[in-house]
A and B are shown apart, each in its own frame.
Chain A
């Protein structure tokens, strides 16, 4: 069986691989690229443990062919932390003990990130609906929901502080002008 040659971007890095035509992205990531963050829970798109984004859309990597990501941009849980610093979601999951066995956690993090990217301050109901495609058999979900809420509010505070600083410096400049005038 002839392999398919694929050039793609994974977590911002250009990547090339050869895979079988029927090989799913999850197997490519885990077995060929060495990114084992995405997990295989069910393999049928029901549990969300293999959640990744392709061109910004949240998908199950077990239901995407490796060959399909030619020229696309894939983000996995390994792409969440930047410069050795955990993403606020990752920190809040640890602080709130939002994991036990940890198999579902990468999928929850990727799905929660996708949610916060499009809705910065989701209600509890919105969080529960958005994460309905991710199954956890340990935590009972409450701690996960709390962790996502905490991360959302931290990200919102950071955003306000940043914009506050910006406008603060602006008004600072203005007042300087006034003083000069």
Chain B
């Protein structure tokens, strides 16, 4: 196995492109190194992207934010601008692992690890985040929800890596929130989760909404029917019930020791309701 730490995205892509065997990108390593040590993967090449300047910073851009692929989640928590703009994204990123893991883990890694239970992904999806993918054929920008293909699988092709995640600047009166269910308060993986973002119009009426669920299907699920259920409302009880029903209809979870199909489906609705209320409040709704 070779270890390389290139200092530019171009060099990283070139290393991945010319490598004949199995190659892995190392950002925080909180998933990759566990798999390496467990013998689940036998890489011929590991490309550490933490020496690439542009991948290490959170940048405010003309259109919003650019979070470099090597930015640890703890740094997202430290960014006041990001907290203010997308509190739901930050609270989701901050739920991944312990302080020790926070110092290493990245939202790009969380996305590429492609776990259905990835905490940061539903919130990124509702915030309309995009992944900047770089590969031998150049750069392309894709919606975050297009990256996971199934548990542990992504739509990235050989030689491609994600350079950054971009977030738009939120429209005025926008709020987002992420909630998950875990038996423990810390250091646990979501049994199911929900993210909601809303933008309010006149009189506190929801004008735009996005609802995404985690750990209830092979990949994150964006639920347009759930968004539709609250658009045009002020989150009255009937609207919230319709939101929950739409979420439950979108669930196709597995049964495992951490939660049954019935439990996950029911709780997804409950969490979506609660997350919608928090997002509504953060948007300035009363």
CB-CB < 8 A to A60: which residues of B?
A: 100-101, 104
- Give 19 CB contacts A-B under 8 Å: A1-B1, A21-B3, A44-B38, A45-B30, A57-B72, A58-B100, A58-B103, A59-B103, A63-B34, A64-B33, A65-B3, A65-B33, A68-B5, A68-B29, A129-B186, A132-B98, A132-B99, A132-B187, A133-B98
Q: Mark B98-126, 1 if CB is under 8 A from A, else 0.
A: 11110110000000000000000000000
CB distance from A126 to the nearest CB of B (A): 11
Q: How far is the CA of A86 from the CA of B26 in the complex (A)?
A: 37
Do A63 and B187 touch across chains, with their CB atoms under 8 A apart?
Answer: no
Residue with the highest number of chain A CB atoms closer than 10 Å, among B26, B46, B74, B103: B103
CB distance from B91 to the nearest CB of A (A): 13
The answer to whether residues A64 and B99 also contact, given A21-B1, A24-B37 and a CB cut-off of 8 A, is no
Q: How far is the CA of A63 from the CA of B27 in the complex (A)?
A: 11
CB distance from A56 to the nearest CB of B (A): 9
Q: How far is the CA of A171 from the CA of B1 in the complex (A)?
A: 65
From the candidates B1, B30, B46, name the one contacting A63 in the complex (CB within 8 A): B30
Q: Mark A1-44, 1 if CB is under 8 A from B, else 0.
A: 11010000000000000000110100000000000000000011
CB-CB < 8 A to B26: which residues of A?
A: 65, 68
Counting CB contacts under 8 A, is A155 at the interface?
no
Do B74 and A64 touch across chains, with their CB atoms under 8 A apart?
Answer: no
Since A65-B29, A133-B99 are in contact, a sample of 5 more A-B pairs with Cβ atoms closer than 8 Å, ordered by chain A residue number, is A24-B33, A44-B38, A54-B103, A114-B99, A115-B99
Do A44 and B50 touch across chains, with their CB atoms under 8 A apart?
Answer: no
Do A21 and B101 touch across chains, with their CB atoms under 8 A apart?
Answer: no
Interface of A is mostly: mixed
Do A70 and B100 touch across chains, with their CB atoms under 8 A apart?
Answer: no
CB-CB < 8 A to A1: which residues of B?
A: 1
CB distance from A4 to the nearest CB of B (A): 6
Counting CB contacts under 8 A, is A111 at the interface?
yes
Counting CB contacts under 8 A, is B168 at the interface?
no
Counting CB contacts under 8 A, is A48 at the interface?
yes
From the candidates A2, A57, A58, A133, name the one contacting B187 in the complex (CB within 8 A): A133
Residues of B within 8 A of A (CB): 1-3, 5, 26, 29-30, 33-34, 36-38, 46, 48, 50, 72, 74, 97-101, 103-104, 185-187
CB-CB < 8 A to A115: which residues of B?
A: 99
The answer to whether residues A64 and B100 also contact, given A4-B3, A132-B186 and a CB cut-off of 8 A, is no
Do A133 and B100 touch across chains, with their CB atoms under 8 A apart?
Answer: yes
Q: How far is the CA of A54 from the CA of B100 in the complex (A)?
A: 11
Do B100 and A59 touch across chains, with their CB atoms under 8 A apart?
Answer: yes
Residues of A within 8 A of B (CB): 1-2, 4, 21-22, 24, 43-46, 48, 51, 54, 57-60, 62-65, 67-68, 70, 111, 114-115, 129-130, 132-134
From the candidates B38, B46, B50, B99, name the one contacting A21 in the complex (CB within 8 A): B46
CB-CB < 8 A to A45: which residues of B?
A: 30, 33-34, 97-98, 100-101
The answer to whether residues A68 and B1 also contact, given A24-B33, A59-B100, A114-B99 and a CB cut-off of 8 A, is no
Do B29 and A63 touch across chains, with their CB atoms under 8 A apart?
Answer: yes
CB-CB < 8 A to A2: which residues of B?
A: 2
Do B3 and A46 touch across chains, with their CB atoms under 8 A apart?
Answer: no
Q: How far is the CA of A21 from the CA of B38 in the complex (A)?
A: 16
CB-CB < 8 A to B29: which residues of A?
A: 63-65, 68
Do B2 and A21 touch across chains, with their CB atoms under 8 A apart?
Answer: yes
Do B104 and A64 touch across chains, with their CB atoms under 8 A apart?
Answer: yes
Q: How far is the CA of A63 from the CA of B1 in the complex (A)?
A: 17
CB-CB < 8 A to A64: which residues of B?
A: 29, 33, 104
Q: How far is the CA of A57 from the CA of B26 in the complex (A)?
A: 18
Q: How far is the CA of A63 from the CA of B72 in the complex (A)?
A: 14
Q: How far is the CA of A132 from the CA of B1 in the complex (A)?
A: 34
Do B187 and A46 touch across chains, with their CB atoms under 8 A apart?
Answer: yes
CB-CB < 8 A to A132: which residues of B?
A: 98-99, 185-187
CB-CB < 8 A to B3: which residues of A?
A: 4, 21-22, 65, 67
